[in-house]
Amino acid sequence: MSIFQRVFRMGKAEVNSAIDKIEDPIKMTEQGIRDLKKDLNTAMTSLAEVKGQAIRLKKQAEDNQNAAADYEKKAMLLLQRAQSGDLDAAEADRLATEALTRKDDTATRAAQLANDAQQQETMANNLQTQVDRLKSTIASHENDLITLRARARTAAATKKINKQLAKVDSSGTLAMLERMKERVDQDESLAQAYGDIAGQATSTDDEIDQALAGGGSSNDERLAALKTKMGIS
């Protein structure tokens, strides 16, 4: 095989490995959850900003409403002083009119600010709904990921066991066991045969030693009687 073919095969293996990693459902789910959490952080920041804007506008609207009420009170005080003679009537009318103009301006501004605050609150509520939905989606995916990991571990273990079992040649194993059984039977029979031979093998020297050791008296008496009968001393 040429060097180019080997390099091509190595490159192909690396590409296949990369594809397998890309298609790994666990890794894909983990990445998806990370992306959703980034989106959640962005949405939470936006939600906080919109809520803050709504609170600020609402406070400004209330301040302008209070200012409008104060201008109206000042206009009334000016007219009261003019009526009691403490202030020139023409001057009181001029100042009271200016106070009422500012009262109308601040009241208009208060109404606009209140409307803007209401819009911001509506946006905040919509964002809150999206944030809650996103949180629920992330929690659901995280639970799915836990189940997926458990299933992946079980599948990997089952695959490994089945792969090992698939490599076992049952017929070859049985044949080997039968051969071993025959071999053991032969060895046992051979051992018994050697034992029988060892128990039966007795040399002439052993017989002589046994005769001298005893048990040969009856043979000696018969031999002496036979010699007497034959006249052999």
The string of pLDDT tens digits covering residues 36-47 is 999 999 999 999
Q: Are 104 and 37 in contact (CB under 8 A)?
A: no
14: confidence class by pLDDT, cuts 50, 70, 90: low
107: confidence class by pLDDT, cuts 50, 70, 90: very high
pLDDT at residue 80 in the model: 93
Q: Are 121 and 76 in contact (CB under 8 A)?
A: no
Residues 6+ apart with CB under 8 A from 74: 96, 99
Mean pLDDT of 123-133: 93
Q: Answer positive or negative: Cα dihedral of 37, 40, 42, 44.
A: negative
Task: Indicate whether this model's pTM tops 0.85.
Answer: no
Residue 55: how many CB atoms within 10 A of its CB? Answer: 14
Distance (Å, rounded) from C-alpha 193 to C-alpha 203?
A: 19
